[in-house]
Chains A and B, each alone.
Chain A
Amino acid sequence: MNYGKAGKAILSLAVAGILGMPGAGAAQGDTITIGMLSAFTGPFASFGQLQKEGAILALEQHDFKAAGKTIKMIYADDQLDNELAVTKAKQLVEQDKVDIITGLVSGDEGLSVGAYMKGKQIPVVPMYSASEDMTMREWYPFIVRPTWTGAQPMDVFGYWLAKEKGYKKIYMIGEDYSYPYNQAGGFKRGFMRGGGDEVKTVWHPVPTSDYSSLIASIPLDQGYDAVLYNGAGSDAVAFVKQYVEFGMHKKLPLLGQSNTFERPDLDAMPSDIAGSYSAHLTADDMDTPHWNAFRDAFQKRWGYAPTAASEFAYGSMLLILRAIEARKGDVDDKEALVKAMHEVDMSDEPRGPIKLDQFNAAIENVYIREVAAGKDGAMYNKGIFTVKGVSQFGPYDSKLYMSQPADGRDSPPDSRARMPETILKVDKDYAFVPFGQ
C-alpha cells in the first residue's frame, strides 16, 4: 500500500472533517457579535492596541451589554496587510457570522475591506481609516464612519496657515501612500483658498529611517515659510529627530500632518519642536465635561492619557451600542440598524459634538494645535483654535468635490496657478474661534 498517498488522503479527510463542522459564533438569540479588524501585531500594532482600549472602555461602561443582549467581541488581526484584511474579513463574515464589523486603521485597509463587504449587507464602522472615498466615491449605505477623512482637518489647517499666519509657500515631505495624499490634498485646497501660492510635495518611500539627505535638500533660499512633514509613526519620529539634529528647526518652522505629533510618538521627539502646529479632531488639553469624563475613565482604566485613536474607537463603539439600544436589540434588520446608527445622538461625544451627513460621515469640530511642554516636562498638543461643524467636503458642495479627481501623488496641483477656480473660491469659509469656546 502506498503510504504516502494514503497518508495524504487520511490527513486531508480528517482536516476536511474537522473544518467541515459548522462554524462557531452564529448570532444566537441573545448575543450580538461584533468583529474588530485591526493591526494587533506587526509594525503597526500600536494602533490596534489603542483602538482596542478605546472600544473596551465603552463596552465595559455598558457591561458588554446593549438592550439586554450580550455583546461578543471577536478580534481579528490583519497586521495592516490589505490581503490579510480581506481574508480576516471573510473569516468574520463567513465563520464568525458577525453582525457588525469595526476597527480598521489605515486608509487602504479600509478601502479593501469596504470593497469586499459590498453586498454583504453588514454594517461597517471604520474607527480610524481615513480614506475619504469610503464615504464618497466608493460609499454604499452600510458604511457608517463617525470619525474622519484625511482631508477634513488638513483643509482647515491649510486655510488657517494662509489666512491667519500669512504663509505663502510650504515645502512638504510626505510618506508615499494614499492617506498622506489625502492629507496633502485637503491641505492644498485650504491653503490656496486662504491665499497661499505653493505647496511643493516631495514623497519618500515607507519606511525610511535616514532622512538626512532629504533634509539636506530642503532649499533655504527660495522663500519657503515652513516645512510640513506629512507622515506619522516611526517615520515621523525619525524625521523630526533628524530635523532638529541638523538645526533645521531654527531655520524653518516645522509643521505636522494630523498624526505626526500624536502621542506616544510625541514622547520620543525632542522638545525643541515646541510651537509646531498641526490640526486634528482632538487636542490633548480639551476641557469639556464630556472629554474630562472620558479622559479620566481612560486614564484610570489603562494608566495613560487617551489619544485621538483611542477616542475615535470609544466614540464609534458608543455609537454602535446606542444604535443597538435604539433598535431594542434587533440586529437582524441590518438596514434599520444602519438607519439607527445614522440617527444616534452623539452630541456628547468626548471630542466634541458630531452629526452624520448623508454619507454617514462625521460633521464635527476641528482643532488647530501647537506642541507645548507640560508642567511635568512631557509634551502635548495644546489647542489654540477651533472650527465647528466641519464636513468631510470642507466648505465645498459634495457634488463639486467628488467631481474632482481623487487625491493622489500629483493631484491636486502644487501651485495656485494650476488650481481650478471652483476650488479657490467658496461662498462661505471657516470661522475660527479661540480654543475652548
Chain B
Amino acid sequence: MDTRYLIIVFNGLTQGALFFILGSGLTLAFGLMRVVNMSHGAFYLLGGYMGLSILRHTGSWTLALLGAGVLIAFLGLVLERGMLDRIRAGGDLSQTLLTIAISMIIADQALAIWGGHPVSIRAPAAISQPVSLFGFTYPGFRYVLMLAAALIALGLWFLLYRTRFGIAVRASVDDRETVSALGVRIGTIYSLMFMLSAFLSGIAGVLGGSYLQLSPGEDITILTYSLVVVIVGGLGSLMGALVSALILGQILSFSLAFAPEMSMFLVFAPMALMLAIRPQGLFGRRL
C-alpha cells in the first residue's frame, strides 16, 4: 500500500486516540448526570497549560501529565459540588448554560496567565523518537498516544463492568431512585464521575499539547470535536465514544489531506445527520 495513505490512516488513529480520551469522559458524565459539560474544552486547555507550568518547574513530563489530570479533576469537583449541584433541580439546560459561562471565564483567565503565544509541551525524548514500523517513519509520541488511549479504554471498561463503582454507575443511569433507596450515595457517584471526566480532559490537554500545541481558541475547537464524537457515538455510551472517535479521526485526517477547505463541514455534517435521523447516536440509549 502506498505509504502516503498508510500515514494518513495512522494520523487518523492518532487523532482518534485523542478524541476518544476527550469523548469518553464527556459521554460518561452525560449518561449518568444528564449534563453536557460545555467547559470540557476549557478543561483541556487549562489542563495543558497547567501541565506546561508543572513541567517547567519540575522537569518531569510524567508529573505534568498526572498533575494536570489531578488539578483539573479537583476543579471539576469544585464546579460540580459548588454550582452544578445547586441548580440540578432546574434541569439539564441550566447546567449546560452554566458550564458555558464557566468555560468563558476559564479561557479568559488562561489567556491572562499564560499569554496569547502558542506553546507546546516537550515530551521526554525517550518516547518522542521517530519509529520505523510498517514501512514508514512516524513520530514515536503518536504511538504512545494511541497506546494511552487503548489503556484508558481498557481501564474505563474495567471500571464500569468489573468494579462496584461501575455497577453503581450503570445502575444509577438506569434507575436513580432505586439505587438511592438501596443506600448508595448518588451524590458521591456524581462527583466521582465528574472528577473522572475532568481528569481525562486534563491529561488529554497535556497529551494534545505535546504532539500538537496549545493556544487560545483551542478550547472551542476541542469542545466542538468532543461534542461531535459524543453525539455520533451516543450520549452515555463508552463503546459509542470509541467507535465514533475512530471514525471521526479518519474523516478529519483524510479531509485534511485531500479537501482541507471542506474539513470542518465534513466533521460537523455527521453530527447534524445523526441528530436528525437517530438522535441517540450509534450506541446510545433512547433519550
Digitize B207-228: 1 where CB-to-A-CB distance is under 8 Å, 0 elsewhere. Answer: 0000011011110010000000
Note all chain B residues with C-beta closer than 8 A to A268. Answer: 117-120, 213
B44 to chain A, nearest CB (A): 12
Chain B residues contacting A212 (CB-CB under 8 Å) are 7-8, 11, 14, 253
Query: Counting CB contacts under 8 A, is A301 at the interface?
Result: no
B4 within 8 A of partner (CB): yes
B184 within 8 A of A: no
Segment among A201-209, A291-299, A385-393 that sits at the interface with chain B = A201-209
Contact with B along A373-392 (1 / 0, CB 8 A): 00000000000000000000
Contacts A46-B116, A213-B253 given: A203-B260 contact, CB under 8 Å?
Answer: yes
Do A217 and B118 have beta carbons less than 8 Å apart? no
Are the C-beta atoms of B213 and A45 separated by less than 8 Å? no
Q: Is the CB of B115 within 8 A of A46?
A: yes
Chain A hits for B261, CB < 8 A: 176, 203, 205
Known interface pairs A217-B4, A233-B118, A237-B120; A207-B213 also in contact (CB < 8 Å):
no
- Mask, B120-131, CB within 8 Å of A = 1, is 100000000010
Q: How far is the CA of A238 from the CA of B212 in the complex (A)?
A: 6
Contact A265 B117 (CB under 8 A): yes
Q: From B222, which residue of chain A is reached at the shortest CB distance? A: A209
- A214 and B139 alpha carbons, distance in the complex (Å): 15
Q: What's the minimum C-beta distance from A271 to chain B, rounded to whole angstroms? A: 12
Whether, in the assembled complex, A247 has its beta carbon less than 8 Å from a beta carbon of chain B, the answer is: yes
Any chain A CB within 8 A of the CB of B151? no
Q: When A42-B217, A213-B256, A246-B139 are in contact, do A234 and B11 touch as well, CB less than 8 Å?
A: no
Chain A residues with a Cβ closer than 8 Å to the other chain, count: 34
Interface size class of B (residues with CB under 8 A): 35 or more
Could you say which residues of chain B place their CB within 8 Å of the CB of A44?
116
Contacts of A246 in B (CB 8 A): 7, 130, 137-139
Q: Does B111 contact A (CB under 8 A)?
A: yes
B256 in contact with A210 (CB, 8 Å) = yes
Whether the Cβ atoms of A45 and B11 lie closer than 8 Å is no
A411 adjacent to chain B (CB < 8 Å): no
A42 touching B216 by the CB < 8 A rule?
yes
* A118 beta carbon closer than 8 Å to chain B: no
A11 interface hit (Cβ, 8 Å)? no
Cα A116 to Cα B159 in complex, Å, equals 60
B212 and A214 form a contact (CB under 8 A) = no
Question: Assuming the A-B contacts A45-B216, A213-B8, are A208 and B256 also in contact, with contact meaning beta carbons closer than 8 angstroms in the complex?
Answer: yes
* Chain B: CB-nearest residue to A237: B118
B218 cross-chain contacts in A, Cβ below 8 A: 209
| Alpha-carbon distance between A405 and B212 when the two chains are bound, in angstroms | 37
Judging by beta carbons under 8 Å apart, are A41 and B108 in contact? Answer: yes
Confirm or deny: A416 has a beta carbon within 8 angstroms of a beta carbon on chain B. no
For B8, what are the chain A residues with a Cβ–Cβ distance below 8 Å?
A: 212-213, 216-217
A43 & B14 in contact (Cβ 8 Å cutoff) = no
* 0 or 1 for each of B260-284: is its CB under 8 Å from A? (1 = yes): 1101100000000000000000000
Complex contact B221–A207 (CB within 8 A): yes
Chain B residues whose CB sits within 8 angstroms of the CB of A176 once the complex forms: 260-261
Is A245 part of the binding interface, using a Cβ–Cβ cutoff of 8 Å? yes
Report B-chain residues with C-beta under 8 Å of the C-beta of A208: 256, 260, 263
Query: CB within 8 Å of A: which of B1-43?
Result: 4, 7-8, 11, 14-15
Cross-chain contact B115 with A45 (CB below 8 angstroms): yes
Whether A49 contacts B116 in the complex (CB less than 8 A), given A42-B111, A43-B217, comes out as yes
B108 (CB) vs chain A CBs: closest residue: A41
**A264 near B: Cβ within 8 Å?**
yes
Q: A42-B216, A213-B256, A268-B118 are in contact. Are A205 and B11 (CB under 8 A)?
A: no
Taking the complex as formed, is B165 at the interface, i.e. its CB lies under 8 A from any CB of chain A? no
Q: CB-CB < 8 A to B138: which residues of A?
A: 246
Q: In this complex, what residue of A is CB-closest to B208?
A: A209
Distance in angstroms from B168 CB to nearest chain A CB is: 38
In the assembled complex, the Cα of A176 lies from the Cα of B14 at a distance in Å of 25
Residue B257 lies at the interface, judged by CB distance under 8 Å to chain A: yes
Query: Which parts of A255-290 form the interface with B (CB within 8 Å)?
Result: 264-265, 268
CB-nearest residue of chain B relative to A176? B261
Q: Kindly state whether residue B252 has any CB partner on chain A within 8 Å.
A: yes
A45-B116, A268-B119 are contacts. A209–B217 as well, Cβ < 8 Å?
A: no
Residues of B within 8 A of A205 (CB): 260-261, 263-264
**Residue among A176, A202, A212 facing the most chain B CB atoms (10 A cut-off):** A212
With the chains together, A245 CA to B136 CA distance in Å?
12
Interface string of A219-258 (1 = CB under 8 A from B): 0000000000000011001100110011100000000000
Residues of chain A within 8 A (CB-CB) of B252 are 210
Q: A213-B11, A216-B8 are in contact. Are A207 and B217 (CB under 8 A)?
A: yes
Name the residue in A46, A49, A242, A245 with the highest tally of chain B Cβ atoms < 10 Å from its Cβ.
Answer: A245
CA distance A59 to B161 in the complex (A): 67
- If A42-B216, A205-B264 touch, whether A214 touches B257 (CB-CB below 8 Å) is yes
| B contact residues around A216 at 8 Å (CB) | 4, 7-8, 11, 257
- Asked whether B256 lies within 8 Å of A214 as measured between CB atoms, the reply is yes
A41, A204, A210: which contacts B212 (Cβ < 8 A)? Answer: A210
| Contact of A234 with B213 at beta-carbon distance under 8 Å, contacts A204-B260, A213-B257, A216-B257 already known | yes
Q: Which residues of B contact A204 (CB under 8 A)?
A: 256, 260
Which residues from A are CB-within-8-Å of B264? 205
A41-B111, A45-B111 given; A210·B15 CB < 8 A: yes
CA distance A176 to B256 in the complex (A): 13
- A42-B116, A209-B221, A212-B253 given; name 9 further pairs at CB < 8 Å: A42-B216, A176-B261, A205-B264, A207-B221, A210-B11, A213-B256, A213-B257, A217-B8, A234-B215
* Interface pairs (18), CB distance under 8 Å: A41-B108, A41-B116, A43-B215, A46-B115, A176-B260, A205-B260, A209-B218, A210-B256, A211-B256, A212-B8, A212-B253, A213-B253, A213-B257, A214-B257, A238-B118, A268-B117, A268-B120, A268-B213
Chain A contact residues, CB within 8 Å of chain B: 41-46, 49, 176, 202-205, 207-214, 216-217, 233-234, 237-238, 241-242, 245-247, 264-265, 268
Chain B residues in contact with chain A, CB under 8 A? 4, 7-8, 11, 14-15, 108, 111, 115-120, 130, 137-139, 212-213, 215-218, 221, 252-254, 256-258, 260-261, 263-264
